[in-house]
Chain A
């Protein structure tokens, strides 16, 4: 049971990152390889603000904790969104205008990813495990369903992830922007003919993905640690999660993320050494793809949402 909670926590972070991949894939049919660095920048951005607010974290009054958390999420999200926006302007739009081959996008994203992670390292230090100031007792056990220990941080992570996912789901389903996004992922040229501003929509899609990824960056940093190379592994996992759920499909990414997180944390339960965690995760991925070649929920953004 404990493992399930851990899995849900980890899975909701994967899901938040995976949404970024899936949204971009939906509108551009491209894997945004630099999304892991968007995620990383969220952690750094939120650190700057949280550090500013609470200093080294000692003596933070308990009433302030929720505000600090919200400030952290928001600042992480905004930083990452800014980075994602710039990424689209610099690494994607020029190539799009030139009708570059698809792999060129991939490579420019990889270049951007290297660049961003190393620039962050240059600016803020290359330690791989920085921690947020301990401004609250994040490991306090809140309640114990079925003998499992649920910690307050886990509640925060899962709750905020759920809120953001519901928000996103509604955004895509109901608003005008959401309609444009779906229209573009369905058929970009036709959407353009229908009067949708493609550039603007794509750019906003990146921003939304960045918001979610940045929030995930903050939560990830709180839960584990952060550093300039932190994005790579979660990025790959989240990408796998997005594919697992059916890339381009928003609900698929959520389910895929949660599923991957749970599977990873259930590995010790079924008596497999934890060193094989990644192998199990990828094997599950391959098996799912074998039987459902387009992921759990199929792949179109438009159809599912």
Chain B
């Protein structure tokens, strides 16, 4: 194809895309009497010009892309882009103060402009300083990147830090102000996302300031920044969080009351609070923070391992004490009926949990400092030099800094442990019944689809079987189990797993000899059969109503240890976390085991795998059974958490969605499956505020489509896949009609 027609093609594509976007932003459904209503209103209005202009801009960017590329490979560009977008997103889409209107940034800013008595810094921030700061930082960074002047980089980094602090202070001022007039607890996340954005921008500045070369080594410099002192980034984050938590954040907030750490101490002075909690509130909290900070910080800076262990011990002990204190004050607060406090674990502000996260991260920093390899070998591999040569970084070279991956995991753990208590009820239930369960399912399906390469479109069936097995065993179905078999939900886990395992074997044994696409339709059929049976076998399953009596909530009763799960979503969240953790640990071991490697072999080339002596049928069956039993666990959890469910929870669409989560996240990688499921289940709930509810699926479809077009390997591709996709073979020699690479035998 010659150049002109290429260009014309691209222009047409961009304009068409712009028109589609215009349609997507357009008004809601027309009626059949007025068939073209929506199209008329979205395409023949002034707004379409904006979208067309956008299309032209994209077209220009694409056309001059080759000239832009050399700049893109300069250090710091990608963090700059990511950070800028994050800050913009936080200041346009996200909530900043829950009690103000629809809580978005614009609304809050408008409200702030109309109030007197807000601190001047805060009113300035909401009155335009926020955007000015962003623009200045971005300009500074751009200048630094283009000219290579390091001082600009340092300046930008410093300014980003200042901006982050200003954002935090302004947000705190607004929330304080609102609460003075009887607002409730604030759960908004906007400011935190904004701060994260500025921290990324700060990283960009540091990368620019610290890189030696001007070409193609963003990632190497990033790795150097991150790996300079393993654990130090975590300690730094922990320090910031901890000081924020202890100095300004709310610790205890029954109705109309909003107590920081110091206020809480005054509140509980002389009320018979347990001594350890009193000491914690008085000085022990700060002391723990300071001691662990010093220990971990020095340990990671000087790389002294024993000190690192000490830091970890103090930090994690601090977490324990903090949790204990939180329990004590909320419990006692309810007993004393302080401003209608309602009971243990209730009325706690974000501060305590933030302090927990901070201490946890500081401890984790110490732990990483104690375990990171002392001397890091520079990770310049073949792919790296290849990447430099082609002006493009290979994805496998990202995050090779010592401890970087582990730091990421630790941050994820901290968020998983200490974010949910600070979220509001809606997000807690989303976390449990959407995100958590689907993460578990995706991790299970990842074994089947990602590792063994078997396309299973009926995965939800096993989940249904798990749920119904639970319902049967606890006696919630019309068919009652014999009395000696009736049990509590958690005890049903082994049985549900066993039944799902058997179902997996029963489905797999006759069908696994089929090739990929036949397997897909058979599993799909199986899924539908299970659902239809559940709907129609009234006398067994109570038909489309679901189980006739409520499936009881889980209970653990072992003499001294007795936990009863009720309606509080948090309890389920931590139970789920335990499940996910156990499954993850088991699967991590499995991935590199003999079985895991056999799966990979089968996925890549079944015939060759057979030739090397792998019993492919048995190994595939094993994958099926393991995947099925994981979803059995999810089924038990689901049944006992929700109490009532119907066959509608197990429709075909959900099976397809789980496959989409796995592939979206990155086939065959555990972090990918988790991230994919979490992101795609979070997205619809997030979009609820942004677009009309009915359009959510459309945006999700578009997001999935775009992801696959621009990043076919998924969000976090497995390392093996990443190499397959971008490494090894030089681009130029790839055959034109590579519709299906010969190696992809699913």
- Residues on A facing B (Cβ under 8 Å): 25, 27-31, 47-48, 51, 89-91, 94-96, 98-108, 110-119, 121-127, 130, 184, 188-189, 191-192, 198, 202, 232, 236, 239-240, 243, 247, 273, 275-276, 278-279, 282-283, 285-286, 289-290, 293-295
Contact of B23 among A29, A108, A123, A184 (CB under 8 A): A123
Binding site secondary structure of chain B: helix
B39 close to A (CB within 8 Å): yes
Contact A96 B514 (CB under 8 A): no
Chain A residues with CB under 8 A of B660:
107, 110-111
Minimum C-beta distance from A267 to chain B (A) = 12
Contact of A104 among B32, B522, B652, B712 (CB under 8 A): B712
- Cα A273 to Cα B537 with chains together (Å): 12
Query: 8 Å CB contacts to A: which residues of B7-60?
Result: 13, 20, 23-24, 26, 28-32, 35, 38-39
Contact with A along B378-401 (1 / 0, CB 8 A): 000000000000000000000000
Given contacts A111-B703, A123-B29, A236-B652, contact A198 B35 (CB under 8 A): no
Minimum C-beta distance from A85 to chain B (A) = 12
Q: Which of B156-164, B478-486, B735-743 contacts A (4 or more CB under 8 A)?
A: B735-743
Given contacts A100-B725, A279-B532, A293-B513, 15 further A-B contacts (CB under 8 A): A91-B709, A94-B709, A95-B709, A101-B713, A101-B741, A104-B714, A107-B664, A115-B698, A115-B702, A121-B29, A127-B32, A191-B737, A240-B524, A286-B522, A294-B518
Chain B residues with CB under 8 A of A273:
536
Query: 8 Å CB contacts to A: which residues of B720-738?
Result: 721, 724-725, 734-738
Contact of A111 among B23, B516, B708 (CB under 8 A): B708
In the complex, residue of chain B having the shortest beta-carbon distance to the beta carbon of A114: B701
B201 close to A (CB within 8 Å): no
Contact A283 B529 (CB under 8 A): yes
B663 close to A (CB within 8 Å): yes
Contact A103 B667 (CB under 8 A): yes
B511 close to A (CB within 8 Å): yes
Chain A residues with CB under 8 A of B343:
none
Contact A104 B740 (CB under 8 A): no
Minimum C-beta distance from A37 to chain B (A) = 10
- Cα A119 to Cα B702 with chains together (Å): 10
Contact B746 A95 (CB under 8 A): no
Chain A residues with CB under 8 A of B698:
114-115, 118-119, 121-122
Given contacts A101-B667, A103-B455, A107-B664, contact A275 B532 (CB under 8 A): yes
- Cα A42 to Cα B668 with chains together (Å): 37
Minimum C-beta distance from B442 to chain A (A) = 13
Contact A279 B533 (CB under 8 A): yes
Contact A285 B656 (CB under 8 A): no
Chain A residues with CB under 8 A of B13:
89
Chain A residues with CB under 8 A of B575:
none
B414 close to A (CB within 8 Å): no
B449 close to A (CB within 8 Å): yes
In the complex, residue of chain A having the shortest beta-carbon distance to the beta carbon of B656: A110
- Cα A185 to Cα B188 with chains together (Å): 55
A-B contact pairs, 27 of them (CB 8 A): A28-B740, A47-B32, A95-B709, A99-B734, A99-B741, A100-B708, A101-B744, A104-B712, A107-B660, A111-B704, A115-B702, A115-B705, A116-B701, A118-B694, A122-B698, A189-B735, A191-B737, A232-B652, A239-B521, A240-B521, A247-B517, A273-B536, A276-B536, A279-B532, A282-B529, A286-B510, A290-B510
Minimum C-beta distance from B567 to chain A (A) = 33
Given contacts A29-B739, A101-B721, A293-B513, contact A118 B701 (CB under 8 A): yes
- Cα A117 to Cα B701 with chains together (Å): 10
- Cα A118 to Cα B29 with chains together (Å): 10
B112 close to A (CB within 8 Å): no
Contact B737 A188 (CB under 8 A): yes
Contact A123 B39 (CB under 8 A): yes
B592 close to A (CB within 8 Å): no
Chain B residues with CB under 8 A of A47:
32, 35
Minimum C-beta distance from A149 to chain B (A) = 29
Chain A residues with CB under 8 A of B533:
279
Given contacts A107-B708, A123-B39, A290-B510, contact A112 B701 (CB under 8 A): yes
Chain B residues with CB under 8 A of A95:
708-709, 712
B697 close to A (CB within 8 Å): yes
B413 close to A (CB within 8 Å): no
Given contacts A99-B741, A110-B656, contact A125 B518 (CB under 8 A): no
Chain A residues with CB under 8 A of B536:
273, 275-276
Chain B residues with CB under 8 A of A123:
23, 26, 29-30, 38-39
Chain B residues with CB under 8 A of A192:
735-737
Chain B residues with CB under 8 A of A48:
35
B81 close to A (CB within 8 Å): no
Minimum C-beta distance from A261 to chain B (A) = 16
Given contacts A101-B712, A122-B29, A124-B29, contact A113 B701 (CB under 8 A): yes
Chain B residues with CB under 8 A of A294:
518
Contact A236 B524 (CB under 8 A): yes
Chain A residues with CB under 8 A of B740:
28-30, 102
Contact B739 A188 (CB under 8 A): yes
- Cα A123 to Cα B520 with chains together (Å): 32
Given contacts A101-B713, A239-B521, contact A111 B739 (CB under 8 A): no
B72 close to A (CB within 8 Å): no
Minimum C-beta distance from B508 to chain A (A) = 13
- Cα A286 to Cα B519 with chains together (Å): 10
Chain A residues with CB under 8 A of B702:
111, 115
- Cα A247 to Cα B659 with chains together (Å): 22
Contact B659 A28 (CB under 8 A): no
In the complex, residue of chain B having the shortest beta-carbon distance to the beta carbon of A98: B712
Given contacts A28-B739, A29-B739, A279-B532, contact A104 B663 (CB under 8 A): yes
In the complex, residue of chain B having the shortest beta-carbon distance to the beta carbon of A104: B712
- Of A25, A113, A279, most buried by chain B (CB within 10 Å of CB) is A279
Minimum C-beta distance from B392 to chain A (A) = 13
Contact A90 B709 (CB under 8 A): yes
Chain A residues with CB under 8 A of B703:
111
Contact B28 A99 (CB under 8 A): no
- Cα A95 to Cα B525 with chains together (Å): 28
Given contacts A91-B709, A101-B667, A125-B29, contact A293 B659 (CB under 8 A): no
B237 close to A (CB within 8 Å): no
Contact A107 B704 (CB under 8 A): yes
Chain A residues with CB under 8 A of B32:
47, 51, 124-125, 127, 130
Contact A289 B522 (CB under 8 A): yes
- Cα A130 to Cα B32 with chains together (Å): 8
Minimum C-beta distance from A300 to chain B (A) = 13
Contact B517 A122 (CB under 8 A): no
Query: 8 Å CB contacts to A: which residues of B679-709?
Result: 694-695, 697-698, 700-709
Minimum C-beta distance from B26 to chain A (A) = 7
Contact B705 A90 (CB under 8 A): yes
Contact of B739 among A91, A96, A121 (CB under 8 A): A96
Query: 8 Å CB contacts to A: which residues of B64-83?
Result: none
Contact of B521 among A103, A189, A243, A290 (CB under 8 A): A243
Contact A104 B708 (CB under 8 A): yes
Chain B residues with CB under 8 A of A276:
532, 536
Chain B residues with CB under 8 A of A130:
32
Chain A residues with CB under 8 A of B524:
236, 240
- Cα A273 to Cα B703 with chains together (Å): 42
Chain B residues with CB under 8 A of A125:
29-32
Given contacts A103-B449, A111-B660, A123-B38, contact A286 B520 (CB under 8 A): no
Query: 8 Å CB contacts to A: which residues of B442-461?
Result: 449, 455
Given contacts A51-B35, A124-B35, contact A112 B705 (CB under 8 A): yes
Contact A114 B522 (CB under 8 A): no
In the complex, residue of chain B having the shortest beta-carbon distance to the beta carbon of A28: B739
Chain A residues with CB under 8 A of B532:
275-276, 278-279
Contact A124 B700 (CB under 8 A): no
B528 close to A (CB within 8 Å): yes
